[in-house]
Amino acid sequence: MRRHVFNLIRRLHIRGPSKHFFFLSKLGSGGQGDVWLAKDKHLDRVVTIKRLPWKIENNRPAAGHSIRARADIQSPSIPKLFGVIPDGRKLWLVGEYVSGATLHVCADQLSWESRVQVVKDILEALVCLERCNLVHCDLSPANLVLDGSGQTRLLDFELCHQVGFGLTVSGTPGFVAPELATESVALPSIDIYSLGALMFWLITGLTPTINHDDSGRAIIGLPAIDNVPSQFADLANIAARCVRVDASLRPSAREILDRLNRDFRWLNALDRESLERVSKRNLPPSLSGSTPFDFPEPASQKSVGQTKWTMLGVVLISLGIVAYRPVAAPVEVTVDVSRVQAVTELPEVFDADWLASSLQTNLEAFGVTALEGASIDVICSYGSCDLELRHSETSEGYSECGHKVSLAASGDQRSWEMAVSELARSILLTH
């Protein structure tokens, strides 16, 4: 009984985008915010949500310009930015979730034809960024992902700046342009240098080295080119132009893309089967998370008024639960698990009988004793699960309706118990 009350307390404390999203798991943290995997309650799709500790209108105007520009980007190589949710002094960025294998993991499995296609995909992204006056500032293998269709996607726009604005941070070692050691202005030539370093890395497994002469002038050391098929030797020539010390001599993304399209026109650009196979061999484990509503909010962010209303709600809920004395037989529930993918990660106790029993227990705890034709459909795919509860009209006048709860596919029994508890609570709130 106490556990159900505690679950309701936690639900009342959730703020920000949790009104529209289920938080599934934390993907990572960076210097400019945390990134979460979530599921849109209304559109039924998995997204990423990034929390930024500042507002566009405040002391980060440069980043605000880049966010607005990103919202207009339409490119298959760049994940979409769906929207921005203001929340007090914070911002939440809602974007497309890309599932796949990073280039850092699967590069050595790529054919030479596939490497050319990867570079062309990256160039498509850079051309789009140049058109929007944006600089990614952190082009590296860890920020490039092969998705399930074999398309290369450029991720992690944490350091993205608008052209001409000052830089306060640099990118990944080995892929950072030499001028960033003395200059701090975002220019497209920064991304071009990173592209050249990335091309050398794809060809040789090494990146250029940056040294300095007695006068402090940068000197670029290029990796040795060995065992490269003659028909692909031009990749090294293009890469060498990209990593020139003088940034003004580096070609633009459009120039490089046009040259690759011309020099490698004999490649079938539409054939991505090889890249798709590589991606699927290296897909990360299925998504997992604590619970769909287990999102932490610091206690310091809760207002006194919110706390008072929360405690009042807790008292009323507690009184209602304590006053109830179940007298009826358990509600009959049927469960269909036929649409659960075989590879789905599930608790050891998971089966139809366990789900039915869990729902019965929760319904009794919430005082629901009459519910005819109750059935649960469990649908699991792509790392997430939906529990859909339906029931028909009863003798007490309840009309036919449905309820749905989503959670990450996980072997954590507690996550499933809380999801079932949420289903039962949804019936309580609607009747």
SS3 215: coil
In the sheet with 100-102, reading across from the earlier edge strand, the strands are 100-102, 144-147, 152-154
Contact call for residues 158 and 32 (beta carbons, < 8 A): yes
Which CATH architecture best describes the domain 15-96? 2-Layer Sandwich (3.30)
β-pair partners for 390 = 375, 402
CA distance from start to end of the chain: 20
Model confidence band, residue 318 (pLDDT cutoffs 50, 70, 90): low
Over residues 357-366, the pLDDT tens digits come to 888 887 777 6
Contact call for residues 387 and 404 (beta carbons, < 8 A): yes
How far is CA 14 from its chain centroid?
A: 20
Over residues 110-135, the pLDDT tens digits come to 999 999 999 999 999 999 999 999 99
Model confidence band, residue 51 (pLDDT cutoffs 50, 70, 90): confident
CA–CA–CA angle 183, 184, 189 (5° rounding): 80
4 pLDDT higher than 50? no
Of 69-83, 119-133, 276-290, where does mean pLDDT reach its minimum?
276-290
The residue with tokens 């196979």 is 277
Residue 414 structure tokens: 């507690």
306 pLDDT higher than 90? no
DSSP assigned state of 329: P
DSSP assigned state of 109: G
pLDDT number for residue 298: 42
CA–CA–CA angle 241, 245, 248 (5° rounding): 75
Residue boundaries of the structural domains of the chain: 15-96, 100-281, 324-430
SS3 330: coil
CB-based contacts of 234: which residues, under 8 Å, 6+ apart? 263
What are the angstrom distances between the C-alpha of 150 and each of 79, 200, 201, 203, 274?
A: 14, 21, 20, 19, 8
pTM for this one?
Answer: 0.63
Over residues 6-27, the pLDDT tens digits come to 343 333 333 456 678 888 888 8
SS3 151: coil
**CA-to-CA distance for 297 and 299, rounded, in angstroms?**
6
Residue 335 structure tokens: 């469960």
Q: Pick the more confident residue, 27 or 393.
A: 27
177 pLDDT higher than 50? yes
Of 214-228, 338-352, 384-398, where does mean pLDDT reach its minimum?
384-398
Q: What is the mean pLDDT of residues 135-164?
A: 91
156 pLDDT higher than 50? yes
SS3 10: helix
pLDDT number for residue 400: 60
Contact call for residues 392 and 9 (beta carbons, < 8 A): no
100-281 CATH pick, 1.10.287.610, 1.10.510.10, 3.40.50.720, 3.30.70.790: 1.10.510.10
pLDDT number for residue 382: 66
224 pLDDT higher than 70? yes
* Backbone φ, ψ for residue 38 (5° rounding): -145, 165
228 pLDDT higher than 70? yes
Residue 339 structure tokens: 């649409």
Closest CA to 35 of 79, 101, 88: 79
319 pLDDT higher than 70? no
324-430 CATH pick, 3.30.160.100, 3.40.50.1100, 1.20.5.510, 3.50.50.60: 3.30.160.100
140 pLDDT higher than 90? yes
How far is CA 196 from its chain centroid?
A: 27
pLDDT number for residue 356: 86
* H helices present in 14-50, as ranges: none
Q: What is the mean pLDDT of residues 228-241?
A: 92
Q: What is the mean pLDDT of residues 415-422?
A: 79
pLDDT number for residue 290: 39
Residue 214 structure tokens: 């007695």
106 pLDDT higher than 70? yes
**CA-to-CA distance for 118 and 116, rounded, in angstroms?**
5
Query: CA 229, 231, 236, 239 torsion: positive or negative?
Result: negative
pLDDT number for residue 324: 44
Three-state secondary structure readout of 263-325: HCCCCCCCCCHHHHHHHHHCCCCCCCCCCCECCCCCHHHCCHHHHHHHHHHHHHHHHHHHHCC
Q: What is the mean pLDDT of residues 75-86?
A: 89
**CA-to-CA distance for 402 and 199, rounded, in angstroms?**
53
Contact call for residues 291 and 419 (beta carbons, < 8 A): yes
Over residues 182-202, the pLDDT tens digits come to 877 899 999 999 999 999 999
Residue 261 structure tokens: 């399209």
For the chain, give the percent of residues with pLDDT over 90: 30
Query: CA 6, 9, 13, 18 torsion: positive or negative?
Result: positive
Q: What is the mean pLDDT of residues 86-95?
A: 80
405 pLDDT higher than 90? no
Contact call for residues 254 and 130 (beta carbons, < 8 A): yes
* Backbone φ, ψ for residue 297 (5° rounding): -120, 125
